[in-house]
Amino acid sequence: MRVRRKVLAAMATAAVTLAGGLAAVVSTSPVQAAVPGSSIPLVFKNNSGRSEQIYIYVLGTILDGSGRQGWADASGAFHQWPAGAPVPVPAPDASIPGPANGQTKTINLPKFSGRVYFSYGQKLIFKLATGGLVQPSLANPTDPNTNILFNWSEYTLNNDGLWINSTQVDMFSAPYAVGLRKSNGQVVSTGRLRPGGYHGFFKALQGQPGGWANLIKRRPDGTILRALAPSHGIGNGAPSLAGAMDGYVNQVWSKYSGQDLVVTPIADLPNNKYYGRVSGSTMTFRDGSGGIVTSFVKPSTDSIWGCYKHLDAPNDVRGQISRTLCAGFNRSTLLSHSNQPHNVPTDFYKDVSTNHYSRKIHAQMVDGKAYGFAFDDVGAHESLVHDGSPTTAYITLDPFD
């Protein structure tokens, strides 16, 4: 599953592994207080307006130093996955019955790095291979979960606090918001669509020329289930998007063959600047003393949509620069602004060649924030809430209006 979680670039960090091999980065900086106990309450509210049974799953890696992966029950108790097999076998039923429409259910969220899945009307199908849990594969049209309406939130809860986000990195589907209550009683939330935003997004994507409408996936009866992110859509009904950014990339490469692209990747370290210049098919970055720090070959459109391959982002200086490039390409700000990251939202997505999927998601959000691509956190434009000592977490299923 090709997902990359947020990077808290301005903080001292340590990597942990999420369910399915996702990479998260969590703070090791001093915080106001440690999170007490082994879990916090998660208030799960159903405001969807739908009558289907909801199923909740809390899956991930327990953060006790063991690296064990598994699931949590409603009490927050950890259950390790049993061994898998070369031919994947059914996983234990990890579902928690969710609340009916208009109702609330409180479960316990353990110190995990992982996901909270929820599905409508049907339980999700998870299997275990020799490498661990097999999660739903959006890029595979034969996946047994293809015709199930579902979504998920990503979270990390450890002694340094809670990070919880709504995510559209892989798909836009069943609407929901996330939130938390701070130790001072303040409640913060994000991820909520504007009134009419759910249908508004699909209508806007349907009307976008160039094959973007092919990202929309329906049940056999025509019911809309989701829109795939372009990184998944290229191989699943939207092949025209494979070259959608190629012309823009060529223009960027031409521009920076004659001038520097200046990247200041960490806001709290404004003197750490890197200067990129193109020669042939390669953009090479140097530090202030002229020393080479990394280089990038001209990225493919797929590398841009997925923020990987030619734009790989290890947890080092290369990764810091790569994240910035990925954001600049997806938001189409690299031609218009030679100092990056450029963090003025009104300047995003102005070029005809841009990530229209992400653009249309942000346009429908109440606070304008979303995870429309993997490094949408560059400049803090992501749908994430965090606190060092939270008392409660929230997930609210919102109306499909």
The pLDDT tens digits of the residues spanning 170-223 come to 999 999 999 999 999 999 999 999 999 999 999 999 999 999 999 999 999 999
In a domain, 268, yes or no: yes
The band of 138, judged by pLDDT with boundaries at 50, 70 and 90, is confident
In a domain, 17, yes or no: yes
175 and 81: one domain? Answer: yes
In a domain, 298, yes or no: yes
31 and 130: one domain? Answer: yes
263 and 293: one domain? Answer: yes
CATH of the domain at 316: 3.30.920.50
User: What are the backbone dihedrals phi and psi of residue 200, each rounded to the nearest 5 degrees, phi first?
Assistant: -60, -40
192 and 56: one domain? Answer: yes
The whole-number average pLDDT for the span 43-54 is 98
Single pTM value for the model:
0.91
Give the C-alpha separation, 341 to 336, whole Å. Answer: 12
306 and 365: one domain? Answer: no
In a domain, 109, yes or no: yes
Active-site annotation holds for 73: no
258 and 335: one domain? Answer: yes
Give the C-alpha separation, 142 to 217, whole Å. Answer: 13
Q: Please tell me the predicted confidence (pLDDT) of residue 31.
A: 37
Q: Please tell me the predicted confidence (pLDDT) of residue 23.
A: 32
**Residue 299 to residues 114, 326, 378, Cα–Cα distance (Å):** 30, 10, 19
341 and 366: one domain? Answer: no
| Tens digits of residue pLDDT in 79-93 | 999 999 999 999 999
Active-site annotation holds for 154: yes
Give the C-alpha separation, 354 to 329, whole Å. Answer: 7
Question: Pseudo-torsion of CA 63, 65, 69, 72, nearest 10°?
Answer: -40
Contact between 377 and 26 (Cβ < 8 Å) = no
CB atoms within 10 A of CB 87: 8
**Residue 386 to residues 9, 16, 163, 220, 398, Cα–Cα distance (Å):** 14, 17, 5, 39, 21
In a domain, 57, yes or no: yes
The tally of domains found in the chain comes to 2
Contact between 395 and 383 (Cβ < 8 Å) = no
| Tens digits of residue pLDDT in 290-338 | 999 999 999 999 999 999 999 999 999 999 999 999 999 999 999 999 9
Contact between 128 and 83 (Cβ < 8 Å) = yes
In a domain, 232, yes or no: no
65 and 198: one domain? Answer: yes
In a domain, 217, yes or no: no
Query: Which is higher by pLDDT, 24 or 257?
Result: 257
The domain of 325 spans: 246-352
Q: Please tell me the predicted confidence (pLDDT) of residue 196.
A: 98
Residue 5 pLDDT greater than 80, yes or no: no
CB atoms within 10 A of CB 308: 19
260 and 371: one domain? Answer: no
Give the C-alpha separation, 110 to 306, whole Å. Answer: 30
In a domain, 237, yes or no: no
Give the C-alpha separation, 370 to 362, whole Å. Answer: 6
The band of 8, judged by pLDDT with boundaries at 50, 70 and 90, is very low
Q: Please tell me the predicted confidence (pLDDT) of residue 16.
A: 30
65 and 162: one domain? Answer: yes
Q: Please tell me the predicted confidence (pLDDT) of residue 301.
A: 98
300 and 389: one domain? Answer: no
Residue from 160, 170, 382, 387 carrying the catalytic annotation: 170
204 and 250: one domain? Answer: no
Residue from 154, 160, 376, 377 carrying the catalytic annotation: 154
User: Taking all residues of the chain, what is their mean pLDDT, rounded to a whole number?
Assistant: 92
The whole-number average pLDDT for the span 103-115 is 97
The band of 33, judged by pLDDT with boundaries at 50, 70 and 90, is low
CATH of the domain at 362: 2.60.110.10
The band of 35, judged by pLDDT with boundaries at 50, 70 and 90, is confident
| Tens digits of residue pLDDT in 330-384 | 999 999 999 999 999 999 999 999 999 999 999 999 999 999 999 999 999 999 9
Q: Which residues contact 248 (CB under 8 A, 6 or more apart)?
A: 329, 332, 335, 351, 353, 354
Q: Please tell me the predicted confidence (pLDDT) of residue 34.
A: 65
Q: Please tell me the predicted confidence (pLDDT) of residue 24.
A: 34
